[in-house]
């Protein structure tokens, strides 16, 4: 009788493990990964390091890289997603790192990899958002560096213009406590509550929302469709 009870207990434990209520060392477990990309020379975007520490303090995996690594990071993210060890994927960057964020999402789109959230801090140009992205929070102090909806994009896209805030410029935008809090809240909502996950019921955005971060902020930039970045800071062509 005792042996039968022991066997029954082992059987129940096995069912629990298979059902996903427990894991063994050999079982992969998916986790959110926040990639943060610094800008030029790896010294002007230390706000990415501060934000990464805040994210890690909340129990979410975050790594900081130079913008030039975007291709190898995209390859890693794609492999980890296919292996079931990574997701949702969140990408944040400042300056040239913000540009690389958009380039990285486009590369992942070509591989069919969903990206839950991207947060560019003051990129140097305007980019089209591919369809694999669920949410974009673009923080900029440039009137021309707005993100736009690309073909097939049905996520949530918000451009926040902080050019009316005299205390924020290109070299301080990534370190702004207020904007870091806004970014952190978006990361937490995405990683823990399931918000901003592709196919997770995001509201469609035929046109991106444009917000001024201060009541006296400058008017929103004019709308242009099909914007793409061209070489050189601030040069934009309308396709």
**Is the predicted pLDDT of residue 143 greater than 60, yes or no?**
yes
Residue 64 confidence (pLDDT): 98
**Token pair belonging to 101:** 């964020």
> What average pLDDT does the structure give for the chain?
78
**Between 216 and 145, where is the model more confident?**
145
Query: pLDDT at residue 100 above 80?
Result: yes
**Who's near 159: CB < 8 A, 6+ residues apart?**
138, 140, 146, 147, 208, 209, 210, 211, 220, 221
In this prediction, residue 193 carries a pLDDT of 81
| Weakest mean pLDDT among 13-17, 97-101, 233-237 | 233-237
* CB atoms inside a 10 Å sphere around CB 181: 12
Of 47-56, 95-104, 193-202, 219-228, give the lowest mean pLDDT range. 219-228
Out of 6-20, 67-81, 85-99, 127-141, least confident range? 6-20
For residue 78, is pLDDT > 60?
yes
Rounded Cα gap, residues 136 and 77, in angstroms: 18
Query: What architecture is the 31-215 domain classified under in CATH?
Result: 3-Layer(aba) Sandwich (3.40)
Q: Check: CB of residue 109 under 8 Å from CB of residue 73.
A: no
Q: For residue 170, is the peptide bond before it cis, meaning its omega torsion is within 30 degrees of 0?
A: no
Measured CA to CA, the distance from residue 33 to residue 185 in angstroms comes to: 15
pLDDT higher than threshold 50 for residue 58: yes
Q: Which of the pair, 167 or 239, is modelled with greater confidence?
A: 167
The reported pLDDT for the residue numbered 234 is 27
Polymer length of the chain: 239
Average pLDDT over every residue of 127-139: 97
- The whole-number pLDDT of residue 210 equals 58
């Amino acid at each position: 009788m005792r042996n039968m009870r022991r066997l029954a207990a082992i059987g129940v434990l096995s069912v629990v493990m298979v059902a996903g209520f427990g894991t063994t060392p050999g079982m992969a477990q998916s986790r959110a990964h926040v990639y943060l990309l610094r800008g030029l020379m790896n010294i002007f975007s230390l706000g990415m390091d501060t934000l990464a520490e805040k994210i890690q303090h909340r129990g979410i995996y975050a790594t900081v890289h130079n913008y030039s690594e975007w291709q190898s990071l995209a390859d890693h993210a794609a492999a980890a997603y296919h292996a079931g060890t990574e997701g949702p994927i969140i990408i944040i960057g400042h300056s040239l790192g913000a540009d690389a964020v958009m380039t990285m999402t486009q590369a992942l789109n070509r591989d069919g990899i969903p990206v839950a959230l991207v947060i560019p801090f003051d990129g140097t140009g305007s980019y089209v958002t591919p369809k694999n992205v669920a949410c974009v929070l673009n923080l900029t102090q440039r009137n021309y560096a707005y993100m736009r909806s690309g073909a097939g994009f049905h996520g949530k896209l918000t451009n926040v213009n902080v050019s009316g805030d005299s205390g924020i410029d290109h070299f301080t935008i990534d370190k702004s406590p207020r904007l870091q809090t806004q970014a952190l809240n978006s990361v937490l909502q995405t990683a823990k509550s399931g918000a901003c996950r592709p196919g997770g019921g995001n509201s469609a955005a035929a046109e991106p929302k444009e917000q001024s971060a201060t009541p006296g902020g400058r008017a929103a930039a004019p709308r242009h469709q099909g914007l793409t970045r061209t070489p050189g800071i601030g040069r934009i062509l309308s396709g």
